[in-house]
Structure 1
């Protein structure tokens, strides 16, 4: 009975967090709609419920993990983040969260880079999952030369014939005008090899520990091992 009560309490807490996250995302969308001069389509959305879905289930193996979308469907997971130096493929910042969206992770990674290295990066590239007016503004405020994919337009064009807020429009033009040699076009040569080495070469496929703090420490260890191997190879090649 106690286990069931604990599971119900956890489901209620999850539902409340999910509702808060949904409200945050909707507020960000509304802010972007206003910046783009678009009207909110259709009827006002119903407020997200803080009550657990009657069909909701609790993961007793690791209740702190979350259901996230992957290329193979939906899985119980954490969101592992890494910022990689473009020249040496050293991981300069890492994080692990319970949030499936990458959009809220760009600024924390930039701040982690500043904390770890004692200076901000001069340049940063990222996939479309990280693109938002707020993130692009954060890069501009820090005078970081950003290359963040705007992604495909899911909304009709606005009055001026363009899609996205002013910073998103400027970023789309910047990437399009830069051709195939921009840092954005070359980003896959920076981050993807690192994750490939971790997964393929070292056989890391899933976390062995449970609970976000332990899994976060495990991810930190994995990133540290990667960096030590990179430094060892660089020293031998010198």
Structure 2
């Protein structure tokens, strides 16, 4: 099948909330727009799925191309940008995850079970030899023993992965690498090892943390996927990503309290960006704006950067700017997750998930441009 045809079908599917390759195949049989785009061709779900996996890198390039088209149309104005993160479920169950401590316990249990099964096998062999003679083949492992040996091998590999992760984290923070050990509660998922347990609106889920930077036209001008469970470390990387993907650095950046830290405020102070970053979590149902009357008098000399940002958002002008954040970025997350139904990745692994998220964001921008200029 021609790659252009498959690309059209895939992009249109993501635009209308049809993400599964099997559902796309079904639409190619019964949905007129799909049939027109496919020119009557009927690729099966495996062809569609393989095409998506094989050409993810090329499909990611669409995001920048669509943004370039938006700039040429005058739609993408990266002046005021709002930043937000959201948890999207991985294609893996949290019940397939195991903590480092539990791995040690399970490893010991499996070793004991393997020892017992080997003893039982030897006893059975001895009984068979006594009954049938000593020329019986004995090189096949019993199925029960094979299962335990396989699980033991996977747990050993998972422990090594967690230990390597602990050493990498120690190296990144300047701590001694040799003595670094995983936390007892560090989790490893056997289905998608690169996903993480994260806290979402519905409790803890196996997920990835997706990031979007959105302009006032609700066009996504920067997007990324991270394994970090919160947004604290995403502010400066996202500023770099916005510049790389849209070609422009924003003049104003609005972000919620998840991005607020003294280190982040210090780093953004070295840029030309005017930040409006909440210093406290907004209560459910609370109207955006000033959290209370602006304190009078000058800030004390001991005031931290967080204190200064808090005072900035207490002013009438600062509160008015920050209040726009909800109307800029949060509807975009809602449109993707609620209106289009994208709540779980189909692919596994951070690289493939990044490609899929890029496709989701690209199709969001296509839909937005269609509504603006179509």
Counterpart CA distance in 2 for 1:22 and 1:188 is: 37
Q: CA deviation at 1:56?
A: 6.2
Counterpart CA distance in 1 for 2:364 and 2:340 is: 9
Aligned-partner SS, 2:321: coil
In structure 2, the CA distance between the partners of 1:165 and 1:15, relative to structure 1 (3 Å rule), is: farther
Question: 1:139 — aligned with what?
Answer: 268
**1:201 aligned to 336, 339, 355, which one?**
339
Question: 2:258 — aligned with what?
Answer: 129
Question: 2:227 — aligned with what?
Answer: 98
The within-5 A match list for 1:95-174 is 95-151=224-280, 166-174=304-312
RMSD: 2.8
Question: 2:371 — aligned with what?
Answer: 233
Question: 1:178 — aligned with what?
Answer: 316
Bigger CA radius of gyration: 2
Question: 1:74 — aligned with what?
Answer: 204
**1:50 aligned to 181, 190, 198, which one?**
181
The within-5 A match list for 1:10-29 is 10-17=158-165, 21=169
**2:195 aligned to 58, 65, 68, which one?**
65
Counterpart CA distance in 2 for 1:109 and 1:120 is: 11
Superimposed CA distance per residue, residues 54-78 of structure 1 (whole angstroms, 9 cap, x where no aligned partner): x766422211101111122211111
Counterpart CA distance in 1 for 2:343 and 2:161 is: 29
In structure 2, the CA distance between the partners of 1:175 and 1:85, relative to structure 1 (3 Å rule), is: same
Q: CA deviation at 1:18?
A: 5.1
Q: CA deviation at 1:51?
A: 3.9
1:104 and 1:130 in contact (8 A); partners too: yes
The within-5 A match list for 1:1-16 is 1-16=149-164
The within-5 A match list for 1:32-43 is none
Counterpart CA distance in 2 for 1:21 and 1:147 is: 30
In structure 2, the CA distance between the partners of 1:11 and 1:71, relative to structure 1 (3 Å rule), is: farther
The answer for unaligned runs of 5 or more in structure 1 is: 28-47, 153-160
Q: CA deviation at 1:200?
A: 1.4
Q: CA deviation at 1:181?
A: 4.9
Superimposed CA distance per residue, residues 17-46 of structure 1 (whole angstroms, 9 cap, x where no aligned partner): 357658978x9xxxxxxxxxxxxxxxxxxx
Question: What is the TM-score of this pair, normalised by structure 2?
Answer: 0.50
2:210 and 2:224 in contact (8 A); partners too: yes
In structure 2, the CA distance between the partners of 1:13 and 1:173, relative to structure 1 (3 Å rule), is: same
Question: What is the TM-score of this pair, normalised by structure 1?
Answer: 0.76
In structure 2, the CA distance between the partners of 1:118 and 1:200, relative to structure 1 (3 Å rule), is: same
Counterpart CA distance in 2 for 1:52 and 1:9 is: 17
1:133 and 1:165 in contact (8 A); partners too: no
The answer for unaligned runs of 5 or more in structure 2 is: 1-148, 282-298
Superimposed CA distance per residue, residues 97-133 of structure 1 (whole angstroms, 9 cap, x where no aligned partner): 1110201111111001111232210000101110112
In structure 2, the CA distance between the partners of 1:175 and 1:23, relative to structure 1 (3 Å rule), is: farther
Counterpart CA distance in 1 for 2:200 and 2:303 is: 28
2:212 and 2:222 in contact (8 A); partners too: yes
Aligned-partner SS, 1:4: helix
